[in-house]
Structure 1
């Protein structure tokens, strides 16, 4: 009985804190400015969490907790299906999330974030919020995130040449963080995302542009 009462109090506390967290995310008032600009719903939540963690000097801890929970969702499909099912009660979802996080000694800030996401039916945004927070943290460390997508795996020689070329675009003191991906639909060439810049040099896009130009000339 006592355990049940304690659990209900914990859930109620998380829900109230979640509403406070969402209010801060929505208004953006009194928040610490992030090292890079972020946008959209995921940007508002990630920014609010960054600000709270910055003020408490717990940025690294929060980053680890977010990525650990994301890994848990990826590994546990049933848990993910439960949390993303729109027909299930929000308080049941929050109770489960709070229980999992408290057992793992997660910070109240992470618990409050997920309380806000649950309350506002935003659990389907977890992936994009975690990615946005990771981008903020990369900016905090002076990293410039760069994604290189190719039609097939690049040879070490070519990958090194591309990375050396891209290093010319980072400022002194910044560190280039490379993420390589493969997408056969590109047919050839590269698609490069560096910071907020996007360059599509893929064969597929070149073909589309050529076909478009031919149609316009007919």
Structure 2
């Protein structure tokens, strides 16, 4: 058990041992508490060659935790951690999940951090996307894009990718941008929306008055 500024935190590796994992680091850095858990999970799963299995199990875990009956216990801040841990273990036992995933959930339950599960799942998903060479791209338009426009957009965006990278495109709609599009690709952000252009024009007009 380790004590720090946040009180007592029980320490256990996701493989169930204190063996140091060397050479199994993630392809990208994910920060924050969720990043630390996701990184440890990636290292443990890589070492045991169970990356894809753990990824699927994590998705299933989050589905289970959204069940109202289970959620009312494990997400309740007034419920004892031991009670939460038993509830989680009972749910996971029925799913026959790998020890890595079970150890993660036990660790979260022991430390009262089950509420971070969705963030950890998301962080692990980002690591897995990088592992596959996927470049996440979100395109926001005022109206849904038709198939032809979507194909042309994918072709244009693919030109920005390095060799071996794969485009993973997510299309969203937001009527408030009025027209044009907003593109998030990797670390780049490009606002080509009509709303943005109007705001820039308004600013210029005010400055010239």
- TM-score, structure 2 normalization: 0.81
Matches within 5 A, 1:53-64: 53-64=45-56
Structure 1 residues 97 and 207: alpha-carbon distance in aligned structure 2, compared to 1, 3 A threshold:
farther
Indicate the SS of the match to 1:169.
coil
For residue 39 of structure 1, the aligned residue among 18, 24, 31 is 31
Deviation at 1:155, TM superposition (A): 1.1
The alignment status of 1:20 with 2:43, answered yes or no, reads no
Contact 2:179 2:194 in 1 (8 A): yes
Q: Which runs of 5+ in 1 are unaligned?
A: 1-17, 23-27
Deviation at 1:210, TM superposition (A): 4.1
Contact 1:31 1:48 in 2 (8 A): no
Contact 2:39 2:124 in 1 (8 A): yes
CA–CA distance in 2 between the matches of 1:92 and 1:82? 8
Indicate the SS of the match to 1:21.
coil
Q: Which residue of 2 aligns with 1:65?
A: 57
CA–CA distance in 1 between the matches of 2:196 and 2:82? 47
Deviation at 1:149, TM superposition (A): 2.1
Contact 1:191 1:200 in 2 (8 A): yes
Q: Whose helix fraction is larger, Structure 1's or Structure 2's?
A: 1
Matches within 5 A, 1:81-96: 81-96=72-87
CA–CA distance in 2 between the matches of 1:53 and 1:34? 11
Larger deviation: 143-152 or 43-52?
143-152
Deviation at 1:208, TM superposition (A): 3.9
Matches within 5 A, 1:1-218: 19-21=11-13, 30=22, 32-74=24-66, 76-214=67-205
Structure 1 residues 54 and 87: alpha-carbon distance in aligned structure 2, compared to 1, 3 A threshold:
same
Structure 1 residues 120 and 200: alpha-carbon distance in aligned structure 2, compared to 1, 3 A threshold:
farther
Q: Which residue of 2 aligns with 1:3?
A: none
Report the aligned-residue RMSD. Answer: 2.5
Deviation at 1:19, TM superposition (A): 2.6
Contact 1:38 1:132 in 2 (8 A): yes
CA–CA distance in 1 between the matches of 2:23 and 2:115? 24
Could you say which structure has the greater relative contact order, defined with CA pairs below 8 angstroms and 6 or more residues apart?
Answer: 1
Q: Aligned pairs, how many? A: 196
